[in-house]
Each structure stands twice: as structure tokens, then as C-alpha cells.
Chain A
Amino acid sequence: MSAVWVAARAAVRRRRLQTTVVGIVVLVSTTMIVVALGLLAVSAGPFDQAYDRQNGAHLTVAYDRAKATDAQLTSAAGWSGVAAVAGPFGQATLEATAGSAGGGRRPAMPLTVVGRADPQGTVDQLNVWDGRWATRSGEVVVNQNPAGPGRSFDIGEQVSVGGATLTVVGRAYSMSRSADAWVTPEQMTALRPTATQMLYRFTAAGTTSQMEKDEAEVSKGLPAGARLGSTSYLVLREEAAREVATYVAFLVAFGVLGLAVAILIVANVVSGAVVAGFRHIGVLKALGFTPTQVLVVYLTMVSVPAVIGCVLGIGLGNVLARPLLSQAFRNLGSEGIGVPIWVSVAALVGVPLMVALSAFVPAMRARRLPAAEAISAGSAPHTGRGQRVQRWLSGTRLPRAVSLGLGLPFARPARSALTMAAVVLGVTSVTLAIGLGDSLTRYQRAEARSGAVQVEVFASGGPDGGSAQDEALLRSVPGTRYVLGAADLMVRQVGSTEQTMLKLYKGDTAALGQLVLEGRWPSAAGEVAVAKRFLVQRGLSIGDTFTVEAGKGPIPVRIVGMVLYNETETIIADWSTAALVDPDAFPDRFEVQLAEGTSVQAYIDAVRKTAPGLVAVQPEAGEEFILIALVTFTLLTLMLTVVAALGVFNTAVLSTRERRRDLGMLKSIGMTPSQVTVMVVTSMAALGALGGLLGIPIGIAAHRVVLPAMANAAQVGFPDAVLNVYKAPTLVLLALAGVAIAAIGAFLPARSAARTTIAQVLHNE
């Protein structure tokens, strides 16, 4: 066994406390880094793998059959950048109704039906996971994700589509979302297709600009207006990774903060060990250790706990990332998705390397220290530091224990700066986490219109069970302040296979409608408002017009506003638009705001008495994601707070050990144990207070970066109120957070110092 290893091992054993602190700090930091990097690395992985397995279409385009012939489309698809093509397939969006197993009817819904002879092919290879493919007229196969939620048709069920009655013979899954259902080409012809579907895979399709170029090439030479609409796989990919991307934004922020705190604390621990170990360094050199061997001893001393903490952190990070990934990719059949091995390897190499680098500067000091000077030097701080401050403090009216404590950080300014930096990052984390938590809660409340909508009222007979008189009846119930009537109609945007919900609102829209983020609330027939995600995923803007089909022909609608809403496939319109889509529609759901002082339960009871045909309930609770995010913020904040407090703990331990002679003397002249505790805690609380003041603006700045990044990843818009969450009471609490972190970290060493047996210290130099 080499002498260096023996000396390093002895140093580790002698500094159990510092070794433990380094180990824990590295463990926590590594955990956060592994989770963040893991999520970042796999954010698109499961989608890409599943998509490649199906040879999913990079681009799905619907063309107008009246304007482009199959021959023209096939010819255009001969462009050299096309790697594979499928189609032309006949396509129609038709109203479908099906009988339920219980004999009741299901509401009619628009269904995009495509005629395909074969589920395989070079593009969009369908996974027929239940039943079989349609082989003759009168048969239909429906699109359904085997792992996800969705509309379910039973095998053998009769579906009425466009006047024809079809039997469900199978369920297949298309990740390209190329259709809701497939029939044979002969059956499609009988259903009179209105569009032609082409599915393309390109040689270059990695970016939006490449996709735009590809789409332009395959549409080249076609008559104007031939292209009805298209779906890029990048949109589907982004949607699949959306939830993960939302986590990544804040996990990366916390991971960086965690690593920074770890570096500061390690530097502090090693520099403390060097200062406290001057005599030890001198002895090593006197024994014949070369300067480089001394350097290696100190680097090894910190690397041992760092490697152990890193390995444990990697394990914990892998365990914690798994449920987040499973939750995020639940619809892709992602059981078993884990953090890629390279993330663990990178963390195993990178984190100890960062730790070693942070230890390098103080270890170099040990390397350079002359042996004689090291042996003769004590461990007491240099004299003369912070004397002016101490002197000034001694003349103040503060209790002497407090003024002494306030002066202590000035004795070792570098150590104090490192400790304060750890507190700054701790407070930054708390500020960021509280801000994000508050923002998400505000977003959730605004999106759900919590407080605005206190009661929801439904017709007791189901979607069509209400009547046109319900609204008047509801307004007559005492305690009603505002009423918003709503009806949901299923439509489809031309060119997209996604079902789209058209929400028609009637009544007090100004008070209860979704918050308008840009533009205005729709007020005329054909005007709609949508969520930001709708605009982003379709490349649309306010003022643009698009066409929807509702089984009664195409209806052009114009976007007049962007509203705070979390659903992608939803269009919001004023009741006047009902005349274009379904003139017989009437509100089947009401959202009610109560007059001040009205009890929700009393109101619900009153509705039951006044209008027995209506069922009043309280609105549902918030989204699962926000709950998960809030729990994650809280956990990360606790972890970083503990790490920052450990930094303070380490400094307080070093400081009290170095100053044990002073402490003994102070006790000998009558300093009580509680005064000792106050002095030590004050010394760190001063750093905490300053750290708090610096950490708050940094945290607020981080919040202004991370929240929009999360919102962009989630493709949601939000009002200013969601961003401006830091009010005076919050800031005061945050300022106290630094003091609290420091006080918690310093308390145990302070208590230990207060209990120190002083007799031995005072009689020996």
C-alpha cells in the first residue's frame, strides 16, 4: 500500500464529519444531475424508437381530389428527397354513430376514414393489435393506441358511417395518426372520398425548415389550393416529448444549482482541511512526502467520499427518473424506459472530476507550503483580519454575543465568501421553487377558472338531456351571479385526423370565459379563440383562417384570440357560431359563479329543489402534472436547502474548532452556553442574511428564465400575473430563508461549542 494512500485514508478517517458532508452533498447533486440529464437525453427517444418501428410518415398530406389527380400526386412524389411514399389513399371525414353494448346510442362523431388494402407498406406500417385487417366491403378497422386512453370500439360492433353500416373487425394503431379508421379501397370508393391521402418519408426531415422544404417539393407543380392540410411528425414528436421537456426545464436549473453548491462546499471543506491541517502537512513533508504527494493526499481525501456519493447519487437518480419517465411516456408503451447508460457514465466521470477540480486550488496551497512554516503554524486564524469590523461592532449597542458573532465571518473572508455563496444558491433554489410553485398554482387556478366557476351544472339526462329553458331556470336560483352555458360539438380540422372539440359558450362570457391572452374573445359567427398549443402545433396565428368539418360540410373559421387553456384540440366560439355548425344545439352544461356569501353546498341543494332536471356539482380538481411538478419542486428545494445548510454546518464546525481557545476563554469570563450558541449562530446567520439578499434577485431572474422555458416546452401561454408572483410578503419570507438555512446549519456546531469542556483548552497552547 503506497504511503500516499495510507496518509489519505488516515485523513479521511480523521475528518469523518467533513467526509460525510462531502459525500452527502455530492450524492444530492449527482442525483439531481442524473435525473435532469436522463430526462433530457430520453425526451424524444421512446417516440423515435416507436415511430421508426412503424416507418411512421414524416409528412401526412390531404389533397383535394377535385384539384389533384392520383397521377399528379404520384409523379410529384418521385422527387429524389422522398425516401418512401404510401398512397394515394382515398379519404373522407364522415359522421359516425355506433350502438353501445348496452343498447344505448353513442353521440355522433366525425371520423376520418381512409381506404387502404394493406396495413403494411413502406410508410405507416400499422400495428393490428386486436382482430384482423378489413378485407372486404362492410368491414372497418379502428385506430386505437393499445397503451393509451381513447375511443374504444368493440370487435363486432356495428358503426354507421356516411350512410353505410360497417362492422368493426380489428383495432390497429398508427403513430402517424393517419386515420381514425380504415376500410378497403372498394368500400372507400362507395363512401365517396373527398380527399386523397399521401404519406411520405424523407431522406432529410430533422428540422422544421427541412420539412417545409420537403413539403414544398412534393407539392410542386400541383394546382393552387390542391393541398388541404398536412401533419408533420415533428409536431407529433414534440407533443410526445412535451411533458418531459417541461420537467427538464426546471430539473436542469436545479441540477446546475446543485452542482454549483457542491463545488463551493467541496472547495470550502478542502480549504478548511488545509488550514486546519497545516501541522499535518508539515509533518508529511518532514517525513519525506514530495509536494505533489501532499497534493495527491488532499485530492484523494476528498475524492473518496465524492466517488462514493457520486455512485449512490447515480443509483438514486436512476430510481427517481424512472417514475417521471413512465408518467411522461405512458402513452407510448414506455414501461422499462430508464436513464441511458451514458448519463450514468458521464456523471461518474464528470462529478468526481468537478469535485477534484474544486479541491485543486486549496490542495495546491498545501503543496506549496514550506515544511518548517507548516509545522510552526497553528490552526488559529491569521491575526489582523476583520479587526476594524470587530472594533466597530464592540462599540455598538448590540448584545456582545451578537456583535462578536457578526464579526466572526471577517476573520476568514474567503471561507465566509464560499459559505455565503452556498447560501446564495440555497436561497436561489428556494426562491425559484416557491416562484415556480406559485406560478403553476396560479396558472392552474386561472386555467381551471377556480374561484370564478364555483359550480358546474349538467342536465341529468346526459348530453342531450337538457333543454333551452335550463339557463333561465338556473338564473332564477337564489345565489346565482353569473351563468355561462356551454355545449361541446365534435368537429375536425381539414387536413388533420385529430378530433377537435368546438366549445360554444353562451351567457356571461366576460365574467366566466377563459382568460384572453392575446386578441379578443370571439363575438361573431365563425370567430374562434384557441390555446397557444393549438397555434404552435399548426403554425397558425391570430387572424388566420382554417376550415373545420362537422359532418355538414366545411366551415371556415377565423382565429380572433388566444386564450388561457390547456387543451390542444379545442376551439372556443361564441354561441352565434352554433348556427353554422348545429342550429338545434342548446347548452347542456352551465358554469356558475355565486353571489358573495352564498354557500356552494346550499346552492347545489337549491338547484336540486328548483330544477330537478339539473345536476349541480363542484368543479374537478387540478391537473396531475401540476401536482407532480409541485411535489418535485418541494423535494428539490428540500434537497438543495439541506445541501446549503450542510455547507454552513461545515463552516461552523471548522470555525468553532479553530476558535475553541477563544470560546474557552469567553466561557471562562462568563459567557453562558446560550450566549455561545447565539454567537456562533449569529456568525452564520449574518452570512445567511446577506446570502438571502443576493439569492433572491438571482432566484427571481432564474424564475423569469425557467418559467417561460417550461411554458414554451408545454406550449402554453400565460398572463403576466403568473410570472409576477414575488410580492412583498413573499420577499420577506425569502429573505428569512437565507437566515433560516444558515441558522439550521450552524445550530448543531453552536450547541456543540456551547458544551465544549473548556478547562483543557485554556491551560494548553
Chain B
Amino acid sequence: MSDEGSEPAVVRLSGVRKEYGEAIALDGVSLEIHPGEAVAVMGPSGSGKSTLLNLIAGLDRPSSGSVVVHGDDLGRLNEKGLALFRRRRIGMIFQFFNLIDDLPALDNVALAAQLAGVAAPHARRRALELLDELGIAARRNTYPAQLSGGERQRVAVARALMNRPALLLADEPTGALDSRVGEQVMDLLLDLNQIGQTLLMVTHDERLATRCASRVIEIVDGKVARERTLERA
């Protein structure tokens, strides 16, 4: 884990407010995430933690306040700018994997690089390396429907890492997995963080948070209710 004070923050939120009509999802949230950190965002349903993730991923825009990720002020980017930002800076892992059913594992992973204009052979080579690192290279030609939940999530992680993102975002990454497979995914995320990957995850799972995160941010009613630093084993 890196020293928080020595490098500029990867994520900086200042007074972020997000409204959906009358409802206030986030209310004046300010926080920073530094390189190499693994941060877990926790809170009850409807507290605003997924909204927070969406804003940091550039999937949504704040009603007020600023979101700066890796030096990019997301409020100043247009739709194309946000897409390019996501492509270059962000890797995302979802609870339900969100793989494309028509593509085998290898092509699902390679897709992220191909969208950036990387030629198919190069993209596939890099995708194979990642699948190999994550231990599922043997399943590279298998379609998502034939993969287990854990394997699907590993493919999703490989896809998220494809463009060497500055920040890996995970939304309930173990939420759709049984406990044994969930453990494997936790180990994977921990390993990634230990080799320097900055990680922000939204989770209900206290075990995931305590095992993988160095810091926990608790959101209640759209506000940061509590922050705590964890000592990982």
C-alpha cells in the first residue's frame, strides 16, 4: 500500500450532490482515494453508494460539486470525453458480470482494447495473458453461459484490467457468488491491490471489506457517516 500523502489523489470528490428529481442520493460528499489504496464503500440499501460509484466511473454526472479522477474533472467532459475516460482510466466489475453472451471469454476480455483501436491479434494476446494470470486461460474459448459464476467474474476482472486502468471499480463483486467462489474473488482483488492496483468497491459484505480494503467509507442517507482505516492481515 502506498503512502497516502506522497502522491496526488487518484479520486477527489468535493461537495458532491446528486439529486434525482425530489430525491437526494448524495448530499455534499467529499473524499479522496490515493494510489494503491483499496477502499470499500458500505451502507444500507438506498444510501447512495452505487450513485457514488457511478459518479466516479463517469456513468452519471453530479448535480453539483466536482469529481476529479486521475486529473480529469469529469464535470467538464462531454459524452465522448467520458467514454474515453472510462476506456483509459477505469476498469469496472459488476455484481452480474455483464459479459456479452455471444462472445467467448477471450473476446469478451479483448473487446475493451479493441474498442480503443488495438488490433485484434494484439488485443487477444494481452487478453490471454490476463486470463492466464487469473487462472482461466484454459476456458478462453468458452462462452459465458457455459462458465461458472466465479469464472465469469474472473473474465469480468480480466476485462476490467485490459487497458491497465488507474482505478478498478467493483460493484458488489461477490454479490452473485456463493461463499466459496466469493472467497476466490476476494483473494483475486487482494492480490491485485497488493501489486499496486487502486481499488474502490461497493459492498454489503463486511468480510469482503475487512479482507480486501485498507479503508472503509460508510454512507448513510447520501452522506459520509464514518470512515475507518483497517489493518489487513
Question: Which A residues, 592 to 645, have Cβ-Cβ distances below 8 Å to chain B?
Answer: none
Are A672 and B59 closer than 8 Å at their CB atoms? no
Bound together, the chains give a CA A672 to CA B54 distance in angstroms of 17
Task: State how many angstroms separate the Cβ of B109 from the closest Cβ of chain A.
Answer: 10
Contacts of A496 in B (CB 8 A): none
Q: How far is B101's CA from A411's CA once the two chains are assembled, in angstroms?
A: 10
B111 with A400: CB separation less than 8 A: yes
Residue of A381, A400, A401 with most partner-chain B CB within 10 A: A400
Indicate if B60 sits at the interface (CB-CB under 8 A): yes
In the bound complex, do residue A670 and residue B80 qualify as a contact, i.e. CB atoms below 8 Å apart? no
What residues of B have a CB within 8 angstroms of the CB of A670 in the complex? 83-84, 86-88, 112, 115-116, 163
- Bound together, the chains give a CA A122 to CA B143 distance in angstroms of 88
Quick one: closest B residue to A668, CB to CB? B92
Interchain CA distance A407-B117 in the complex, whole Å: 18
**Do B79 and A672 have beta carbons less than 8 Å apart?**
yes
A762 touches B98 (CB 8 A): yes
B57 at the interface (CB under 8 A from A): yes
Min distance, Cβ B226 to any Cβ of chain A, angstroms: 23
B residues in contact with A397, CB < 8 Å: 119-120
Given the complex, which residues of A lie within 8 Å of B103, measured CB to CB?
Answer: 387, 390-391, 394
Q: Is the CB of B86 within 8 A of A669?
A: yes
Of A383, A390, A672, which contacts B84 at CB under 8 A? A672
The chain A residue with its CB closest to the CB of B145 is A383
Known contacts A394-B107, A400-B111: does B101 contact A380 (CB below 8 Å)?
yes
A390 partner residues in chain B, CB cutoff 8 A: 102-103, 107
Q: Is A727 an interface position by the 8 A CB rule? A: no
Q: Is the CB of B144 within 8 A of A383?
A: yes
Q: Does B171 contact A (CB under 8 A)?
A: yes
| Contact among A385, A396, A669, A673 with B111 in the assembled complex (CB-CB below 8 Å) | A669
Which DSSP category, helix, strand, loop or mixed, fits chain A's interface? helix
- Asked if B95 is at the interface of the complex by the 8 Å CB criterion, the answer is yes
Find chain A residues with CB under 8 A from B171 CB. Answer: 762-763
Query: How many chain B residues touch the partner (CB < 8 A)?
Result: 45
B residues near A762, Cβ cutoff 8 Å: 59, 92, 94, 98, 171
Q: What mask results when residues 74 to 99 of chain B are scored 1 for a CB within 8 Å of chain A, else 0?
A: 00000110011011100110111011
Q: How far is the CA of A668 from the CA of B121 in the complex (A)?
A: 23
Q: Contact check: which of B99, B115, B124 meets A671 at CB < 8 Å?
A: B115
Chain B, Cβ-Cβ closest to A408: B102
State in angstroms the CA–CA spacing of A394 and B114 once bound together: 9
In the complex, A380→B101 CA distance in Å?
10
A558 in the interface, Cβ–Cβ < 8 Å? no
A674 to B81, CA, bound (A): 11
Chain A 224-239 interface residues, beta-carbon cutoff 8 Å to B: none
Q: Residues of B contacting A675 with CB < 8 Å?
A: 83, 115
- Inter-subunit contact A391/B87 (CB<8 Å): no
- Closest residue of chain A to B78, judged by CB? A673
Q: B104 to A674, Cβ gap below 8 A?
A: no
Contact A665 B100 (CB under 8 A): yes
Q: Bound complex: CA of A519 vs CA of B142, how far in Å? A: 73
B159 contacts the other chain (Cβ, under 8 Å)? Answer: yes
User: Are the CB atoms of A669 and B143 closer together than 8 Å?
Assistant: no
The answer to whether A757 has its CB under 8 Å from any CB of chain B is yes
Q: What is the distance, in angstroms, from A592's C-beta to the closest C-beta of chain B? A: 64
Known: A394-B107, A400-B115. A661 touches B102 (CB 8 A): no
Closest to B95 in A: A763
Most buried by A among B59, B60, B102, B121: B102
B110 at the interface (CB under 8 A from A): yes
- Chain A residues in 8 Å Cβ range of B159: 669
Of A661, A668, A762, which is in contact with the most chain B CB atoms at under 10 Å from its CB?
Answer: A668
Within 8 A of B (CB), among A655-689: 661-662, 664-675
Question: Which B residues are CB-close (under 8 A) to A672?
Answer: 79-80, 83-84
Q: Are A407 and B59 in contact (CB under 8 A)?
A: no
Contacts of B91 in A (CB 8 A): 669
> Are the C-beta atoms of B80 and A396 separated by less than 8 Å?
no
With an 8 A cutoff between CB atoms, is B153 at the interface?
A: no
Q: Mark A386-404, 1 if CB is under 8 A from B, else 0.
A: 1100110011110111000
Chain A residue at minimal CB-CB distance from B110: A394
Instruction: Give A22-48 interface residues, CB cut-off 8 Å to B.
Output: none
Q: Say yes or no for A384: interface residue by CB 8 A criterion.
A: yes
Q: Is the CB of A667 within 8 A of B145?
A: no
Q: Is B193 an interface residue (CB 8 A)?
A: no
User: Does A731 sit within 8 A of B, measured CB to CB?
Assistant: no
Which residue from chain B places its CB closest to the CB of A395 in the assembled complex? B120
Residue of A nearest to B169 (CB): A668
Q: Could you tell me the distance between the alpha carbons of A387 and B80 in the complex, rounded to whole angstroms?
A: 29
Residues of chain B with a CB closer than 8 A to A662's CB: 98, 100
Asked if A668 and B86 sit within 8 Å, CB to CB, the answer is yes
Indicate whether B50 reaches chain A with its CB closer than 8 angstroms: yes
Q: Mark B51-71, 1 if CB is under 8 A from A, else 0.
A: 100100101100000000000
Known contacts A386-B102, A397-B120, A668-B59, A765 near B96 by CB under 8 Å: yes
Q: Which of B79, B115, B117 contacts A669 (CB 8 A)?
A: B115
Kindly supply a per-residue 1/0 record for chain A positions 324-359, scoring 1 wherever the CB is within 8 Å of any chain B CB and 0 otherwise.
000000000000000000000000000000000000
Q: In whole angstroms, how far apart are the Cα atoms of A754 and B124 in the complex?
A: 26
The answer to whether A669 and B112 have CB atoms under 8 Å apart is yes
Interface-central residue, A383, A387, A668, A669, by most chain B CB under 10 Å? A669
User: B54: which A residues are within 8 A, CB to CB?
Assistant: 759, 763
Establish whether residues B59 and A758, one from each chain, have CB atoms under 8 Å apart when the complex forms.
Answer: yes
Q: Which residues of B contact A668 (CB under 8 A)?
A: 57, 59, 86, 92, 98
B79 with A673: CB separation less than 8 A:
yes
Distance (whole angstroms) from the CB of B104 to the closest CB of chain A: 6
Could you give 13 example pairs across A and B, Cβ below 8 Å? A387-B103, A390-B103, A394-B107, A665-B98, A666-B115, A669-B92, A669-B111, A669-B159, A670-B83, A670-B84, A670-B87, A672-B79, A675-B115
If A394-B120, A397-B120, A754-B79 are given as contacts, then 19 extra A-B residue pairs at C-beta distance below 8 Å, sorted by A number, are A383-B143, A387-B143, A395-B124, A400-B114, A661-B98, A664-B98, A667-B59, A667-B86, A668-B92, A669-B86, A669-B91, A669-B112, A670-B86, A670-B112, A670-B163, A672-B83, A674-B80, A757-B60, A762-B94
